[in-house]
């Protein structure tokens, strides 16, 4: 026989698109339409239903960017439609290629109850399953005219990303608002054709492929293209045998879960996400009622709380579906957060607040962490997930790697402390599966553990901007449940998948260390004020808990549970993986910066209140130390009367147009260009700065990635660099504490920088406070420190410890890490000598090695500012501030302490008395992370300690309060088996392994 494959497939595609799909609806009549365009922000459904409506027509333009229009749709089902399924078909001007990224709607009944959402791939509304004829139809539609910002030519700068700058032109045109007869047999035929067409495209030449092609031809031979409805069943009959052929015994098994990865903010503001969640949830509970086997999963406790607060009518439907175990709370986190930049305590609270909400509202807890789309994963996560009680981890983002294919799909992930958690990446490489033939075949073809197990997960549904699973997807799932030539698909709770996968893979492969995403590296720097706000607020909240707990136990004052919970929830929300990384529209970041300011004001007030309660009434300046290290003779959690420093002053002398600063510990030479040319550790005589080079050198790069402007920096950015040496002015001054300060002013392009370089008595750190008036476009600002250190690896702080990365590029895996992450410090060290960089709001850095005459040096550069133009064309324009420092003659203990002190300033309150520490920890390397009262409001004291130096440690934990018992608890503050602690000399003995996090709960005595 001749090969007529292309002839058959071309025939099927045209008939499907031009005849079958349009015939899913046969008879139709227009609805009567009236509308009300809101002038400002959205209103509640109650107010929306009560608006005054005026007549409107199909073909009318509607909806300025970010606007809301309410439509009232009325009609009557014709008597001739009796016993037929009737739906409303509504096309607001959709582009089916932009689901989740444009206009959307939510249908209400007159009583205010929701029906379902409308979006480009879901334009129908159920009216009646079997019409009686003459039924009245009365529906309301809340339509959001969100602008399309990521269009077919993406990443173009636009002012549409903020309601303050968006245009007023109408974006959409009403295309259709009809009542129509739904033809179920035609709908089923369309799915038959699509599934078989997709399947044969993935099959090799052979009997199965040929049989499918012949069945498709046979089906179209009996289909009357002028009478699709009447002949659809005959066509289906021709396809029945090939659809009934069962899957092979070895077929790959796909566990499908309905899904709609709704970004909590991205190309839309937070207020729109609230509506996206309600729209998607409405459609999903409606679909659950239609499809008895279907399961839908949604993560993010914050999104459930939005439903409860803003859409109670949707919340009640969701709550019932959760009780029926059909709508599945996933992930156990407050939001699907970034995991690289939040502090260790922030990640703990993501789990604590997420799981607490699920438990309190639904009586369930998540067994796994569900994070399909975050930009890399911290090596501290495995321990934190395990100590929070999680059993598995799910993501897929690493499939986006630019260079290296990740070698596993089901594996154990090992963190910095040695903890392991069973992890899975879906082998179809998507969290927005449509169950297409290509996706299903890819899942089977790519699965890397197929020798010993044969299961993968498919999150099924439209996501990012919401929408969820469609009836077309559930229809495909039915056909793919047992179909020859295809993987088998079944709806299944992820817990069941992971339980089975772990049984089938008792000795899984192991991946050690961070899950580095070889993409989106610039998210460590974009939107600096957002990152600065995160660092500041998460540090302040931990401080507020310390002083509030101390005040409660010492003075009997009330612990501010409600305020702290609300503030934590705000900070956790803004750690979402498109907010903290700086990849959302201008509107989002404008609001975020404002909210951080509010949080800071409120937290500062809580701190001041607690400290005033502790210090009492008086006129003596009392200094408080929150840092987990001694500062000015104050230990952690201690307060004393402020004593003037008696330390010697720093000596400053002029030299070669610059200055030399010497405090007896280090000697710094600053050139006439304001650059550090020498930094000597006086005890060893070691020079920190590479010979003939200059540190604190600002460098400006062209920064125009191939795509994903706010997300990416491509490695060719290094090919073009401008050293910022030009000096406007340089002045020397001194401070009351004996420090010497060099103030340096520079101008470049349209921007200016002012630096205050200071050295304090007794300090081995040169501190730099920088203010940049930034007016660049598509530029990347870094500050370089070339070091006379042969560092084979850098040591960068991560949550509750540090992470080592080699400095060479021997393999493609190392070469891909040309921009990496840190928290408060990074250290370059060789045996006997090291140099660290500390910071208060910087997360990105890079490292290069140079060799001259067989002498290898290491250059570390901090990433300060970027200027991408999409999605926010004004990213970081204006005044930006940084604080960082060069720690000379450092080891890991030194930079850990220096970084902590930089990020927690000493406070002075006028009062009458000092305060003894509530908590004290002894043992080298043991650091107190947090002190708080328990989340269950029992009044128990919770103390968290971790090992910071990367080695085993012994010590003791004491509290200055009477207590009845002490127990080791999970990060969620739950009891653990055999958790009771035997005290030693009235203290809790501590024996921690490297980077171990230990949480102790004290039941206080009455």
Q: What is the DSSP string of 873-936?
A: TTTT-EEEEEEEEEEES--HHHHHHHHHHHTS--EEEEES--B--SEEEESTTEEEEEEEE-TT
Counting every residue, how long is the chain?
Answer: 1006
- pLDDT confidence band for 702 (50 / 70 / 90): very high
Three-state secondary-structure class, residue 60:
coil
Nearest CA-CA partner of 698 in 714, 728, 675: 675
**Spatial distance between the Cα atoms of 579 and 761, rounded to a whole number of angstroms:** 40
The neighbouring-strand residues paired with 269 are: none
pLDDT at 604: 98
pLDDT at 661: 98
Helices (H), 677-809: none
pLDDT at 327: 98
436-458 burial, b at 16+ Cβ within 10 Å, e below that, comes to bbebbbbbbebbbbbeebbbbbb
pLDDT at 648: 80
Percent of the chain with pLDDT over 70: 100
Mean pLDDT of all residues in 613-642: 96
- What contacts 426, CB < 8 A, 6 or more positions away? 396, 409, 433, 443, 456, 457, 458, 459
127-146 burial, b at 16+ Cβ within 10 Å, e below that, comes to bbeebeeebebebbbbbbbb
User: C-alpha distances in angstroms, 759 versus 650, 718, 771?
Assistant: 7, 32, 18
Half-sphere exposure of 679 (CA within 13 A, CB side): 31
pLDDT at 646: 63
Tokens, residue 76: 């009557």
Q: In degrees to the nearest 10, what's the CA dihedral of 874, 877, 878, 884?
A: 140
Mean pLDDT of all residues in 266-280: 97
Percent of the chain with pLDDT over 90: 96
pLDDT at 644: 74
Mean pLDDT of all residues in 151-172: 93
Tokens, residue 462: 């439209």
pLDDT at 152: 75
Strand order in the sheet with 114-118: 54-55, 32-37, 67-76, 136-145, 104-108, 114-118
**Spatial distance between the Cα atoms of 654 and 232, rounded to a whole number of angstroms:** 93
> To 5 degrees, how large is the angle CA 24–CA 27–CA 32?
115
Three-state secondary-structure class, residue 734:
strand
Question: In sequence order, what DSSP letters do the residues of 680-708 get, joined into one string?
Answer: EETTTTEE-BPTT--BSEEEEEE---SS-
Nearest CA-CA partner of 139 in 67, 231, 71: 71
Residues 789-800 pLDDT 10s:
999 999 999 999
pLDDT at 643: 82
Helices (H), 183-227: 184-202, 207-222
**Residue reference for tokens 């997300």:** 711
pLDDT at 2: 74
Half-sphere exposure of 886 (CA within 13 A, CB side): 31
Residue 558 pLDDT > 80: yes
> To 5 degrees, how large is the angle CA 153–CA 157–CA 159?
120
- pLDDT confidence band for 697 (50 / 70 / 90): very high
Q: Which letter does DSSP use for residue 808 in this model? A: S
Give the containing element (helix H, strand E) for 181. strand 176-182
Q: What are phi and psi of 422, to 5 degrees?
A: -70, 130
Residue 1 pLDDT > 70: no
Mean pLDDT of all residues in 212-218: 98
Nearest CA-CA partner of 946 in 923, 918, 926, 931: 926
Strand order in the sheet with 86-91: 25-30, 176-182, 86-91, 124-128
Mean pLDDT of all residues in 358-367: 98
Residue 288 pLDDT > 80: yes
**Spatial distance between the Cα atoms of 899 and 341, rounded to a whole number of angstroms:** 15
Mean pLDDT of all residues in 377-388: 98
Nearest CA-CA partner of 390 in 416, 361, 420, 417: 420
pLDDT at 978: 80
Average pLDDT across the chain, whole number: 97
Mean pLDDT of all residues in 635-642: 96
Top pLDDT among 673 and 854 is at 673
Instruction: Evaluate the CA torsion angle 132, 134, 140, 144 in order and state its sign.
Output: positive
Inter-residue contact 393 to 368 (CB < 8 Å) = yes
Nearest CA-CA partner of 824 in 836, 835, 806, 834: 836
Q: In degrees to the nearest 10, what's the CA dihedral of 993, 981, 954, 339?
A: 40
The pairing of strands 765-774 and 751-759 is antiparallel
Tokens, residue 864: 């300060």
The neighbouring-strand residues paired with 922 are: 956
Q: Distance from first CA to last CA of the chain, Å, rounded? A: 91
Nearest CA-CA partner of 432 in 269, 277, 257, 287: 257
Helices (H), 329-408: 344-362, 381-387
């Amino acid at each position: 026989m001749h090969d007529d494959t292309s002839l058959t497939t071309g025939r099927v595609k045209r008939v499907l698109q031009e005849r079958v799909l349009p015939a899913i609806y046969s008879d139709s009549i227009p609805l009567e339409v009236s509308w009300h365009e809101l002038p400002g922000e959205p209103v509640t459904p109650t107010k929306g239903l009560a608006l005054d409506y005026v007549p409107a027509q199909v073909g009318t333009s509607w909806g300025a960017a970010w606007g809301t229009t309410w439509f009232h749709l009325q009609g009557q089902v014709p008597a001739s439609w009796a016993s037929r399924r009737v739906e409303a078909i509504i096309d607001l001007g959709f582009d089916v290629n932009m689901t989740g990224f444009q206009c959307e709607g939510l249908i209400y009944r007159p009583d205010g109850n929701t029906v379902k959402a409308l979006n480009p791939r879901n334009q129908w509304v159920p009216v009646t399953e079997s019409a009686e004829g003459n039924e009245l139809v009365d529906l309301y539609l809340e339509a959001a005219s969100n602008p399309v910002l990521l269009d077919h030519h993406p990443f173009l700068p636009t002012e549409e990303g903020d309601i303050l700058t968006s245009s007023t032109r109408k974006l959409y045109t009403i295309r259709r608002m009809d009542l129509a007869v739904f033809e179920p047999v035609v709908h089923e035929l369309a799915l038959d054709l699509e599934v078989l067409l997709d399947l044969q495209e993935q099959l090799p030449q052979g009997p199965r492929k040929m049989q499918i092609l012949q069945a498709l031809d046979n089906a179209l031979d009996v289909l009357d293209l002028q009478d699709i409805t009447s002949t659809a069943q005959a066509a289906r009959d021709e396809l029945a045998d090939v659809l009934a052929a069962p899957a092979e015994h070895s077929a790959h098994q796909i566990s499908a879960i309905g899904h709609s990865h709704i970004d909590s903010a991205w190309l839309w503001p937070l207020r729109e996400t609230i509506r996206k969640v309600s729209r998607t949830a409405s459609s999903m509970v409606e679909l659950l009622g239609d499809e008895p086997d279907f399961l839908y999963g949604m993560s993010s406790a914050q999104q459930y709380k939005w439903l409860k607060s803003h859409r109670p009518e949707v919340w009640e439907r969701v709550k019932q579906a959760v009780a029926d175990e059909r709508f599945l709370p996933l992930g156990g986190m407050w939001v699907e957060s970034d995991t690289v930049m939040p502090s260790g305590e922030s990640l703990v609270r993501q789990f604590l607040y997420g799981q607490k909400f699920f438990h309190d509202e639904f009586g369930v807890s998540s067994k796994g962490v569900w994070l399909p789309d975050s930009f890399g994963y911290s090596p501290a996560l495995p321990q934190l997930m395990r100590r929070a009680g999680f059993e598995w981890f799910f993501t897929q983002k690493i499939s986006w790697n630019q260079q290296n294919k990740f070698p596993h799909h089901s594996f154990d992930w090992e963190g910095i402390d040695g903890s392991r958690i069973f992890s899975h990446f879906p082998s179809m490489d998507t969290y927005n599966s449509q169950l297409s033939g290509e996706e299903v075949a890819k899942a089977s073809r790519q699965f890397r553990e197929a020798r010993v197990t044969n299961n993968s997960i498919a999150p099924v549904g439209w996501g990012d901007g919401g929408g969820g699973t469609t009836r077309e997807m559930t229809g495909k799932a039915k056909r793919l449940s047992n179909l020859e030539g295809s993987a088998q698909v079944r709806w299944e709770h992820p817990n069941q998948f992971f339980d089975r996968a772990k049984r089938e893979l008792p000795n899984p492969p192991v991946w050690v260390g961070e899950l580095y995403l070889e993409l989106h590296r610039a998210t460590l720097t974009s939107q600096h004020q957002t990152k600065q706000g995160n660092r500041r607020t998460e540090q302040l909240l931990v401080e507020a808990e310390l002083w509030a707990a101390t005040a409660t136990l010492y003075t009997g004052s009330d612990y501010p549970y409600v305020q702290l919970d609300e503030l934590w929830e705000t900070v956790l929300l803004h750690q979402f993986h498109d907010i903290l990384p700086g990849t959302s529209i201008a509107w989002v970041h404008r609001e975020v910066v404002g909210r951080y300011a509010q949080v800071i004001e409120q937290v500062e007030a809580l701190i001041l209140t607690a400290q005033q309660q502790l210090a009492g009434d008086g006129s003596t300046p009392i200094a408080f130390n929150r840092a987990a290290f001694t500062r000015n003779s104050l230990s952690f959690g201690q307060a004393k009367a402020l004593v003037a420093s008696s330390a010697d002053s720093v000596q400053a002398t002029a030299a070669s147009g610059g200055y030399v600063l010497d405090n007896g510990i280090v000697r710094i030479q600053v050139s006439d260009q304001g650059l550090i040319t020498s930094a000597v550790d006086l005890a060893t005589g070691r020079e920190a700065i590479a010979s003939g080079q200059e540190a604190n050198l600002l460098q400006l790069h062209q920064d125009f990635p191939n795509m994903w402007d706010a997300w990416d920096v491509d490695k060719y950015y290094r090919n073009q660099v401008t050293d910022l040496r030009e000096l406007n002015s340089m002045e020397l001054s001194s401070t009351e504490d004996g420090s010497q300060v060099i103030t340096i002013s520079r101008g470049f392009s349209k921007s200016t920088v002012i630096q205050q370089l200071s050295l304090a008595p007794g300090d081995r750190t040169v501190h730099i406070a920088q203010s940049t008036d930034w007016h660049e476009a598509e530029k990347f600002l870094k500050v370089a420190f070339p070091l006379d250190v042969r560092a084979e690896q850098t040591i960068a702080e991560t949550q509750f410890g540090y992470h080592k990365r080699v400095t060479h590029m021997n393999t493609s895996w190392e070469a891909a890490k040309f921009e990496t992450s840190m928290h408060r410090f990074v250290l370059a060290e060789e045996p006997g000598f090291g140099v660290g960089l500390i910071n208060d709001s910087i997360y990105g850095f890079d490292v290069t090695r140079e060799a001259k005459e067989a002498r290898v040096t290491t250059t570390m550069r901090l990433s300060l500012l970027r200027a991408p133009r999409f999605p926010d064309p004004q990213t970081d324009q204006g005044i930006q501030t940084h604080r960082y420092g060069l720690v000379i003659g450092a080891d890991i203990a030194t930079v850990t302490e220096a970084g902590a002190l930089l990020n927690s300033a000493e406070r002075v309150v006028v009062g009458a008395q000092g305060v003894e520490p509530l908590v004290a920890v002894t043992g080298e390397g043991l650091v107190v992370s947090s002190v708080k009262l328990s989340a269950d409001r029992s009044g128990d004291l919770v103390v968290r300690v971790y090992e910071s130096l990367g080695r085993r440690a012994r010590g003791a934990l004491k509290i200055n309060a009477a207590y009845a018992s002490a127990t080791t608890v999970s990060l969620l503050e739950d009891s653990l088996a055999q958790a009771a602690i035997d005290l030693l000399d009235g203290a809790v003995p501590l024996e921690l392994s490297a980077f171990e996090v230990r949480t102790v709960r004290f039941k206080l005595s009455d």
